[in-house]
Structure 1
Amino acid sequence: MISVMSRDTHVGAQCPRCQSHLALVPVPGNSAVTPLPALPAAPKEEWQPPPVAEVLAVYAGRTIDGVTAARGAAKVRESLNRARANAAQRRAAQKAARRTPKSA
């Protein structure tokens, strides 16, 4: 018979980095089971982005090329307009699909 434990009631060992529960598997041929030492409750490590000043320091002192900036802005505008048009077309198609009369 297989017994299933809830994650909330599981008392096994936990990974100190991500706090996920670790499966305790008996080793074949080893009749003496030694208990695992209790692991300290370390807080879960969260990834933090680097400070903004550190990221922007790479760009310090660079001059802005107006032609390249304008070309990039035009590409972004074109992409946004395309996305808006696609979204409007998708909404219209969904609206039309909802309005079709159902066959009896």
Structure 2
Amino acid sequence: MLVLLLLGMVSLLCPSGETAKMCYNCRKYHLGLCYDGMKSCNLKYQQSCATENIYILTRKGRSMYHYSKLSCMHNCEDINFLGNEKRTELICCTHSSYCNLPEGN
């Protein structure tokens, strides 16, 4: 009886049967560690999990990975920004919870 009651409550809160997707949230993530304490955020309408990879440009013009920012972001689009001293790569995902860990970690 209790199980049926809980299932009914879940169906009211999540009518599509889907559970809310979660993302990692960290201002400075590097080599598997979050330096300001790993948190999480729930995706809301028109949001995606976002990984913002920050690269430092060398004198020869090569990109050297520095750190990542992990978050929930509105109207997220995959894009690369190139400045004089750094490159920022923005990667968005919604396919699963916690999909915004940088590759290789």
TM-score of the aligned structures, taking structure 1 as reference length: 0.20
Q: Which has the higher strand share?
A: 2
Q: Which has the larger radius of gyration?
A: 1
Q: Of the two structures, which has the highest relative contact order with CA contacts closer than 8 Å and spacing of 6 or more? A: 2
Q: Which has the higher helix share?
A: 1
